[in-house]
Amino acid sequence: MAPAQDAFSLQVTSELMQKLTKENIVAKEPAKGRKPTQKAAAPKPSMKPVEPAPMNLKQDLSLPYYPGFLSSLPGMNKPEVQTHEQTHDLVPIYKVLEETEKLGEKLQKQEEKELEKVKQLAQDLQDKQFRAPSYPIPCQTEKETCLQCYRGSTKSPLECAEAVRVFKECSQRVQQDFAQRTAAPQ
């Protein structure tokens, strides 16, 4: 980007800094009752100081206008029409900005598509997730019969011996079936 028309340059050297600091020293007023002392003169630099280039300053330093930047605030006037040179300098910037916005939109769309894919894959994974098969609890009816018998005959629990035997046989049969199923695949 080409420098603005109002630009100026200033070369700051150590000699210039020394000269400026010497000019800005203000003599202190002596305290009452004392005589002012004379300071030793500072040695002059051996090199001749470089005079700064004359500055070209304008009172009206206008800033470039960017649409949308503070333009919605009350009292912010739109700038005057820009010159051809000013707009010519900004054309590459506007082109890059436009390309960046288009790329941003494409990336946004691609992100939405990828998000949908990820959601679908997560749903598929949840559907395929292992769930232990649920079997009915074995001997449930025999258990209930045994419990009802005990509840009904609290004074003579020996009357439930037949229900207890049936429940015990059922549970032993289920244990044997389980042992045979788990031992078979090995």
pLDDT in tens, the chain (186 residues): 454 555 666 677 777 777 777 765 544 445 555 555 555 555 554 555 555 555 444 444 455 555 555 555 555 555 556 666 777 778 888 889 999 999 999 999 999 999 999 999 999 988 888 777 788 889 999 999 999 999 998 888 899 999 999 999 999 999 999 898 888 665
- Domains of the chain, residue spans: 85-127, 140-179
Phi, psi of 174 (to 5 degrees): -65, -40
Please calculate the CA angle 83-96-104 and round it to the nearest 5 degrees.
135
pTM for the whole structure: 0.31
- What's the DSSP call for residue 32? T
Residue pair 133/105 in contact (Cβ under 8 Å)? The answer is no
Residue pair 19/49 in contact (Cβ under 8 Å)? The answer is yes
Amino acid symbol at 47? M
Tokens (6 digits) for 79 = 């700038």
